[in-house]
Amino acid sequence: MFYICSEKHSDKVRRRRKENAVKMGKMAMESSFMVFVCLIYCVSSSLTQAQVFDVTKYGAKADGSTDMAQAMKTAWTEACASPSPSTILIPRGTFLMSQVSLGGPCKSSMAVQLQGTVKAPADPAQTKGDSWIVIRNINGFKLNGGGTFDGQGKIAWTKNDCHLKKKCTNLPINLRFDFVTNALIQDITTLDSKQFHVNVLGCKNITFQHVTVTAPGDSPNTDGIHIGRSNGVTIVDSIIQTGDDCVSIGDGSQQINITGVTCGPGHGISVGSLGKWKNEEPVVGIFVKNCTITGTMNGVRIKTWPASPAGIATDMHFEDIIMNDVGNPVLIDQEYCPWNQCTDGVPSRVKVSKVSFKNIRGTSSTQVAVQLSCSKALPCEEVELADIDLTFHATNGTATSVCDNIKPVISGTQNPPICSTTSTAQPA
Ligand SMILES: *[C@@H]1O[C@H](CO)[C@@H](O)[C@H](O)[C@H]1NC(C)=O
Ligand SMILES: *[C@@H]1O[C@H](CO)[C@@H](O)[C@H](O)[C@H]1NC(C)=O
Ligand SMILES: *[C@@H]1O[C@H](CO)[C@@H](O)[C@H](O)[C@H]1NC(C)=O
Ligand SMILES: *[C@@H]1O[C@H](CO)[C@@H](O)[C@H](O)[C@H]1NC(C)=O
């Protein structure tokens, strides 16, 4: 009896223990699930809900005349010191802002959301040096919002003396990115810069997407996006209308991808000019693809100065490009010498190699549609042309090509016939 009873008793105890264990397990699971949910929520909200710093809370006024530079700097300083990701908001409206330099390193990633229009002072004398807005030394940066940076360049353009002097007066660049890593610039317009619109220097992994650049076709040196000494720059689905190169790629540029860019007016998409200065770094890995170029002075070109120090430009590819009424649509010019500022007759020592031009079609506004003028000292090597179909639409004649110091590999459509005769004609 006792034995049975004790058996029953121990059964009960065991069952209760088991029930308790299950309950406690459930509770433990529930609470750890809650902790897990909280973790996900907290982490994701800290990732997505950036702290917002609205410049109007720092004294900026959307009246088009109060200088918001100090408000911008203070907002930046506070945002930069914040341990969570920060967004500086410039809301709708028109703001005036004098020169600012916004630097890192910052505690976390930074973003600027520009919804309105920010104008530069029109008088270039009010800006020291060669930049209006500088973003520098920062890892993790975003700029977006659909707004406009207006450089108000009209007065400054009349003071441009680059056609007179090799080292010309510094006029401010709208936007400079100096030593910026992992950045995304999206849905931004830059308008009427006094000089280059955007300058990219010492950057790594920076993308420009849906960027619009607008300046008159006769505004001097208003290059759209200039890249130098940077690795991993992508320009995609953007519209660039300007008075100089739509995109220019300077020394030390590596892994540059330009896709879906609509260019013109302007001077086209250029590698160079290279070989103007000492100690220039190699240009390696340029991919220009699916672009439309309209009414420009040049199409896709590589330009180097004569009498240059030694240099390298290699692995450059231009593919699927439509030319509408473009001067010099395909151009390698190793005697680039605007305004005759160079030593006559001394060849360039920039070595150009591994270049391809593929599927380039449309109309040329100059009779010479393909010009490949390479250096007498260092002929171009491993140049490939395939499916070139360019017509010269004047009544005066058909499109031609000029080839110097080059033996390209040619395939597919060849309009004009390429390098069928060699000539010593000078670049147009
Ligand atoms: C490049 O930068 C973008 C934008 O900040 C970032 O999302 C991406 O992860 C970066 N890529 C690499 C390879 O670091
Ligand atoms: C650029 O494009 C090339 C070829 O399309 C690709 O191999 C490369 O990864 C791209 N580079 C960048 C930085 O996007
Ligand atoms: C080519 O670029 C245009 C923008 O100019 C874009 O709409 C189109 O989708 C691109 N095509 C390809 C195949 O990338
Ligand atoms: C055609 O040739 C004539 C004479 O060489 C020249 O004056 C004229 O500008 C040319 N027209 C075009 C459209 O190139």
Parallel, antiparallel or unpaired: strands 231-241 and 204-214: parallel
As annotated, the active-site residues are 267
Parallel, antiparallel or unpaired: strands 409-415 and 381-392: parallel
Distance of CA 278 to the CA centre of its chain: 25
Tokens standing for residue 366: 């100059």
Spatial CA neighbour of 352 closest among 386, 311, 317: 311
Question: How does pLDDT run across 277-291, given as a tens digit for each residue?
Answer: 999 999 999 999 999
pLDDT of residue 38: 45
Domains of the chain: 50-415 (2.160.20.10)
Q: What is the pTM of this model?
A: 0.86
pLDDT of residue 101: 98
Question: How does pLDDT run across 353-381, given as a tens digit for each residue?
Answer: 999 999 999 999 999 999 999 999 999 99
pLDDT of residue 425: 44
| φ, ψ (nearest 5 deg) of residue 55 | -60, -25
The residues near 49 (Cβ < 8 Å, ≥ 6 apart) are none
Residues, the chain = 428
**Ligand 4 pocket residues where CB is under 6 Å:** 394, 396
Greater confidence, 86 or 15?
86
Position 225 pLDDT exceeds 60: yes
Distance between CA atoms of 249 and 392, rounded to whole angstroms?
28
Peptide bond into 216 cis (omega under 30): no
39-43, 76-80, 184-188, 321-325: least confidently modelled range: 39-43
Distance between CA atoms of 377 and 17, rounded to whole angstroms?
92
Element (H, E) at 289: strand 283-294
Element (H, E) at 78: helix 69-81
Distance between CA atoms of 392 and 416, rounded to whole angstroms?
9
pLDDT of residue 7: 40
Q: How far is the CA of 215 from the centre of ligand 3 (A)?
A: 23
Residue corresponding to tokens 């058996």: 7
Q: Which ligand is nearest to the CA of 186?
A: 1
Position 175 pLDDT exceeds 50: yes
The answer, yes or no, to whether any atom of ligand 1 lies below 6 A from the CB of 205, is yes
Distance between CA atoms of 323 and 392, rounded to whole angstroms?
11
Averaged pLDDT of the chain: 89
Mean pLDDT of 97-107: 97
In this structure, which residue's CA is closest to atom 5 in ligand 3?
260
Mutate to test the pocket of ligand 4, among 325, 366, 396 (most ligand atoms within 8 A of CB): 396
Q: Please give, one letter per residue, the 3-state secondary structure of 141-162.
A: EEEECCCEEECCCHHHHCCCCC
Question: How does pLDDT run across 117-140, given as a tens digit for each residue?
Answer: 999 999 999 999 899 999 999 999
- Nearest atom within ligand 1 for CA of residue 141: 5
Q: What percent of the chain has pLDDT over 90?
A: 79
pLDDT of residue 29: 52
